[in-house]
Amino acid sequence: MRAFVVAVFAFLYLPIALVVLFSFNAGHHASEFTGFSVQWYGKALSNPFLVEALKNSLFIATTSALLAAFCGTAAALGLQRVGARTRALFDALLGAAIVVPGVVIGISTLVALVQLFAVVNPFLASVWPTDQPPRLSLGYGSIIAAHGLFSMALVTMIVGTRLASLDRNLVEASSDLYATPLTTFHSIVLPQIMPAVIAGFLLAFTFSFDDFIIAFFVAGAQTTLPIYVFASIRRGVTPEINAIATIVLAASVLLVLLAQWQLGRRKPSP
Amino acid sequence: MTAVPDIEFRAVTKRYGAVTAVSGIDLAIPPSAFVALLGPSGCGKTTCLRMIGGFEQPSEGQVLIRGRDMAGTPPYRRPVNMVFQQYALFPHLDVEDNISYGLRQARPRLSSREISQRAGEALSMVQLAGYGRRKIHELSGGQQQRVALARALVNKPAVLLLDEPLAALDKKLRTDMQIELQNLQREIGITFVLVTHDQEEALSMSDFVCVMNGGRVVQLGQPSEIYDEPADLFVADFVGKTNLVSGKVAGLSGDLVDVALADGTVISARKRVPLSRGEAVSVSLRPESLSLSAPGSGSLKGIVRNRIFLGSTAEYAIEVPGIGSLLAKADHVIGQGNLFRPGEPVAIGFAAGAPLAFPHAKNNGTNQREDQNAEILS
């Protein structure tokens, strides 16, 4: 039994450990460790294509996570005020959105966007006053929209859980102390759910930053970091790729830990 | 009393779906009084308090605060403040910010100097001067209770509402807080409305007790009235300890009835409602109105089953053949070794006018509905 557990964890984490190890390899080969060096990090960060992809990823992750945190929180607040049946329906839909495979989200988002563009672009062309109407196409916007939509479900769930554990008495006490509903919201409710909103933002950021599948479908001509890594692997695994992977890994772990810490903060007392 | 009541209920009914939590209550709470709403869980007392606070709207009737109909007035526009059962202190604010929360909502705005001065006064009032910068979770239960009080009173409300405020405290602290609350109420002179299911608390603290059962007010009166002259069997049983003994009306003379008990003994009791000859009744006998003596005198004979010596008093469980077990309470006088021992036969007498006869309990329906309410409201 113990050996089995060790085997499982070895299978899970050994490849990751090797990637981290070989990112510090002085040699060129991915299979032979010849000495410690950080040269591949330097090489990776001086590669303009890679830096461009990293910038894209950071921008997309930040924007989509902000969008998700805002819309998801609003949705969670709204869902508090609907009837039990509507609530159950939306909870189920949210759960479904999270378990639907990335491939399906990718394809369906792509199809939906292409259909939308096919309608909107001619319309824009017909109403635009000048000869150069804006043309909607796949790119930043579509990745942000797709990631934002998925992450919104995540944020809605996290914030919703926090709201459910929020002491209703606090809201009543605030109201009893002459605070209007708006004041109660920003002085009492928002501070109480803020850790969940921040945690939701961080998880949304991590998801977007790491996502390859959905981005691959809707990216158009844009390149995000995971797409760049995927493309360069076709030319063979270089220690440079290991270095990027290690950076992404470290950032993701850090963000997830931050999110966990946020969720554990100021738990409403029982 | 000609003054406008601080709180007035006019034919107030509150329904939750098919369940009636409060049915047709008329109630006037006089100014500057300490009033307790007392009743078992689910009797509608908390619903009444929440209707005063504005957290519930009556289904029918009107709730008036100082003569103004409060229909449609949200909690934040009512001149009342509430101390919540679990205190509901804001965990992300410190003590002083909790207390000044209500003052900060005042329009036109109060100067920050006035706010901090009044918050400081409120803290001193509840003996927590110097605690302003503490975090809520650093305070003990008793201190949190005081902060909750200060947070409500600092706003100088017309009425202070207290929802089972002492339920979460241990017995010693509870007794201290009871005295402190009474003192505060006298000092400030505003009306306190306290909701409690603890009859001792209600009797000891308040000027008026409003006993509720099954969504109705059963009796409103001073504590001694409620205890000595209960309006019905429910009040007699719920407020204080009592022995209920079944019997039949054997004779009527003015305010008094002769009741034949199950063993054939006839005792004289006062009646609070009209009774007719032959009617089944329950007689309420307060433990302290029973006097014990050596066999030979008294109305009933029994055998001491149990004795609980409490220092100044002693309680006896006495088995009376044909009637059952009776609880008697006797003062203990130092030097007079008049304690009866378990197994000893005793005679039981009644203080004149103490036994009260009520129509035999027939309100099973009420009790059932009450249980339903308790389930739904809990």
Number of A–B residue contacts, CB under 8 Å: 66
What pLDDT, in 10s, does the model give residues B32-80? Answer: 999 999 999 989 999 999 999 999 999 999 999 999 999 999 999 999 9
pLDDT at A270 over 70: no
What pLDDT, in 10s, does the model give residues B236-251? Answer: 999 989 999 999 999 8
| B-chain residues near A180 (CB < 8 A) | 76, 105
Q: What is the mean pLDDT of residues A26-41?
A: 77
* B101 to A167: CB separation less than 8 angstroms, yes or no: no
Please state, in angstroms and rounded to a whole number, the distance separating the CA atoms of residues B243 and B287: 7
Measured CA distances, B142 to B96, B149, B232 (Å) = 17, 11, 36
Residues B95 and B147: beta-carbon distance below 8 Å: yes
Please state, in angstroms and rounded to a whole number, the distance separating the CA atoms of residues A118 and A114: 6
CA torsion sign, A123 to A125 to A129 to A132?
A: positive
**What is the four-CA torsion angle of B350, B355, B360, B365, rounded to 10 degrees?**
-120
pTM: 0.80
- CB of A46 within 8 Å of a chain B CB? The answer is no
Structure tokens at B325: 């077990």
Measured CA distances, B184 to B192, B246, B304 (Å) = 10, 44, 45
pLDDT at B377 over 50: no
Residues B243 and B235: beta-carbon distance below 8 Å: no
| A-chain residues near B102 (CB < 8 A) | 177-178
SS3 B368: helix
Domains, chain A, ordered by start = 38-264 (1.10.3720.10)
Residues B71 and B91: beta-carbon distance below 8 Å: no
Q: What is the mean pLDDT of residues B258-267?
A: 89
* B77 to A178: CB separation less than 8 angstroms, yes or no: yes
pLDDT level of residue A139 (50, 70, 90 thresholds):
confident
Phi/psi of residue B248, nearest 5 degrees: -125, 145
Structure tokens at B260: 């034949």
| B-chain residues near A266 (CB < 8 A) | 91-92
B4–chain A nearest CA distance, Å:
23
pLDDT level of residue B12 (50, 70, 90 thresholds):
very high
At B274, the amino acid letter reads: P
A169–chain B nearest CA distance, Å:
6
Characterize B68-86 residue by residue with b for buried, 16 or more Cβ atoms within 10 angstroms of its Cβ, and e for exposed: eebeeeebbebbbbbbbbb
Q: For an interface test with A, which of B56, B90, B103, B193 has the most A Cβ atoms less than 10 Å from its Cβ?
A: B90
> Nearest 5°: CA angle at B44, between B46 and B213?
130
Domains, chain B, ordered by start = 7-234 (3.40.50.300), 242-285+354-378 (2.40.50.140), 287-353 (2.40.50.100)
Residues B147 and B89: beta-carbon distance below 8 Å: yes
Characterize A224-236 residue by residue with b for buried, 16 or more Cβ atoms within 10 angstroms of its Cβ, and e for exposed: bbbbbbeebeeee
Q: What is the ipTM of this complex?
A: 0.82
* B86 to A179: CB separation less than 8 angstroms, yes or no: no
Query: What is the model's pLDDT at position B365?
Result: 37
| 3-state per-residue secondary structure call for B83-140 | ECCCCCCCCCCEHHHHHCHHHHCCCCCCCHHHHHHHHHHHHHHCCCCCCCCCEHHHCC
* A266 to B92: CB separation less than 8 angstroms, yes or no: yes
Report cis status (omega within 30 of 0) of the bond before B108: yes
Please state, in angstroms and rounded to a whole number, the distance separating the CA atoms of residues A234 and B12: 78
